[in-house]
Amino acid sequence: MCVHPWQFPYERETLDLLRDGPKATGELCGHFDSLEQCTVMQHLRVLEAADLILVKRQGRQQRNYIHALPIKEISERWISQYSVSAVDLLARMKLQMGGGGGG
């Protein structure tokens, strides 16, 4: 069974938080009031193992960064398939509605 981190709300929310810029692990732990620190760190390890975040140590602090390249590749691989179909569908609809003229 293949489990993907973006299937889980805490992982998705963490990625949303990191989209705004890097965050210290303690800062992320403070965001999730209902979770213990060790649980938040487990979620971070899942994201790191999936190559969706990068973790850098700065002194005593760990900084977490979104790893945009794999996310971009996932987007291009999956979403591009559907976007081509959607554009084709819109073009056919335009032709059927009589909007096939130039301009």
The CATH code that applies to domain 5-66 is: 1.10.10.10
In contact, 32 and 45? CB cutoff 8 Å: no
Instruction: Report how far Cα 29 is from the mean position of its chain's Cα atoms.
Output: 19
Q: How far apart (Å, rounded) are the C-alpha atoms in residues 67 and 6?
A: 14
In contact, 55 and 61? CB cutoff 8 Å: no
pLDDT (0 to 100) of residue 79: 75
pLDDT in tens, 13-65: 999 999 999 999 999 999 999 999 999 999 999 999 999 999 999 899 999 99
pLDDT at 90 over 70: yes
Token duo for residue 81: 């398939």
In contact, 68 and 28? CB cutoff 8 Å: no
In contact, 24 and 64? CB cutoff 8 Å: yes
Greater pLDDT, 29 or 5 = 29
What are the beta bridge partners of residue 63?
A: 24, 56
In contact, 25 and 61? CB cutoff 8 Å: yes
